Amino acid sequence: MPALPELNERDLTMGKNYRIAVIPGDGTGPEVVGEAVKVLDAAGRKFGFSAEKTCFKWGAEHYLATGEILPADAADQLRRFDAVLLGAIGDPRVKPGLLEKGILLRLRFELDQYINLRPVKLYPGVETPLANKGPEDINYVVVRENTGGIYTGIGGSAQTGTKDEVATQSMVYTYKQVERCLRFAFETARKRHSRENPWNGLSQEDIAAGKTAQLTLCGKTNVLTHVFGLWERVFKELAPEFPEVKTAYSHVDAITMWMVKNPEWFDVIVTCNIFGDIITDLGAMTQGGMGIASGGNINPAGVSMFEPIGGSAPKYTGKHVINPLAAIGAAGMMLDFLGEKEASSAIDRSMAFVTGNKMESMAAGKMGYSTGEVGDLVVENL
């Protein structure tokens, strides 16, 4: 008979049951999501909640077999859940962009996940390409606007395919889109200041050391005067509502220098969709690469979707060498948003223990462990 899971006091209290939609997706997506679910379930047993998972097999296989990218009512189906956990989307057999746009971007839009929250956090023992920087220097979060800007898709081309071709892709923002994004960013900064929270929080030591909440607007006010004139005006308009948050501004080109040279300057960075897309890949590299970078597509009043921010890494599919920590971190962020703060903190601390004491590298095939063993280590150290 299989051993029964160990009971502790918490199992006897009535915990919440969360309904989680799981989209494993393509390539190594299913492998990393499997580990995230393993950690999620272990955290549930320890902290007294349960997660009822429903799997949606959307992705390349489904598309190649049926010709359908997503069912018409996909967003409605997902709305019935408390949160969505996503593996990765993209497959070499399918034209680049088709699945990414048809699944990832479509769900972000239809579920109105207008924030993409991407912590840039260097865990102990993880190698960073930044010289003389450690975990105390690299710990901030990027709030990327997630449904507007260039991604709105407004534009077109004429005389297409000729030497006279003209093409446009417009950066469009409304006051309301900018306002809700900035408000979320100010609130994120305020929360970091007021309590310890691993995914969007300053540590007690930071607070004791006088590090205050700071929000940096990243824009391009010197050239993109219309759009970033709007962002800057709303930023200044909201600031007095958040007196505990210090405000700063950086042009996007300059911020790529500072993120490399002085990452310790940053606490929360807020920016538009395309700038956020670009600077968070840079941020991910400074925290040890795509193997450990997690993100959340957030609708604060709706269903949010959490994902490792790297791709589907097709060449490692099925080899059990891919790093699952980004997906496990995404599950940790999800628990934070569901209100399971203790469980979320425990996952964060366990990840830090495993990177600091066990793993040799964050790179696929060089971890010193298989994908499943890394998941087991995080479970053992919860």
Residues of this chain that bind Mn ion (CB under 5 A): 277
CB of 378 to ligand IPM, least distance (A): 24
End-to-end CA distance of the chain: 26
DSSP string, 71-130: -TTHHHHHHTSSEEEEEE---TTS-TTHHIIIIIIHHHHHTT--EEEEEEEPPTT---SS
The interface partner of residue 105, options being Mn ion, ligand IPM, none and the CB cut-off 5 to 8 Å by kind, is ligand IPM
> Residue 286 is encoded by which pair of tokens?
């400074």
The interface partner of residue 104, options being Mn ion, ligand IPM, none and the CB cut-off 5 to 8 Å by kind, is ligand IPM
Q: Footprint of ligand IPM on residues 186-225 (CB under 6 A)?
A: none
* Number of separate helices (H) and strands (E) present in the chain: 14, 12
Closer to ligand IPM by CB, 104 or 182: give it.
104
Site residue total, ligand IPM (CB under 6 A)? 5
Closer to ligand IPM by CB, 95 or 163: give it.
95
Residue 167 gets the label, from left (phi > 0), alpha (psi -120 to 50) or beta, of beta
Pair 306, 295: CB distance under 8 Å: yes
The interface partner of residue 292, options being ligand IPM, Mn ion, none and the CB cut-off 5 to 8 Å by kind, is none
Burial of 257 (0-12, 13-18, 19+ CB in 10 A): exposed
Residue with tokens 């409304």: 174
Coil, strand or helix: which one is 36? helix
Closer to ligand IPM by CB, 105 or 282: give it.
105
Stretch that binds ligand IPM, among 50-58, 100-108, 237-245, 284-292 (CB under 6 A): 100-108
CB of 380 to ligand IPM, least distance (A): 31
What is the rounded CA–CA span in Å between residue 115 and residue 300? Answer: 8
Coil, strand or helix: which one is 350? helix
Stretch that binds ligand IPM, among 66-74, 97-105, 163-171, 172-180 (CB under 6 A): 97-105
From 11, 100, 110, 137, residue interacting with ligand IPM (rule: CB under 6 A): 100
Q: Footprint of ligand IPM on residues 265-284 (CB under 6 A)?
A: 277
Closer to ligand IPM by CB, 280 or 344: give it.
280
CB of 296 to Mn ion, least distance (A): 14
CB of 114 to ligand IPM, least distance (A): 13
What is the rounded CA–CA span in Å between residue 224 and residue 274? Answer: 13
From 105, 172, 224, 285, residue interacting with ligand IPM (rule: CB under 6 A): 105
From 20, 42, 60, 104, residue interacting with ligand IPM (rule: CB under 6 A): 104
What is the rounded CA–CA span in Å between residue 312 and residue 203? Answer: 33
If one asks whether residue 293 binds ligand IPM (CB under 6 A), the answer comes out as no
Q: Give residue number: closest CB to Mn ion.
A: 277
CB of 245 to ligand IPM, least distance (A): 26
> Residue 233 is encoded by which pair of tokens?
């005006």
Strands 83-88 and 115-121: unpaired
> Residue 130 is encoded by which pair of tokens?
């930044």
CB of 74 to Mn ion, least distance (A): 21
Q: Give residue number: closest CB to ligand IPM.
A: 100
Residues making contact with ligand IPM (CB under 6 A): 100, 104-105, 277, 309
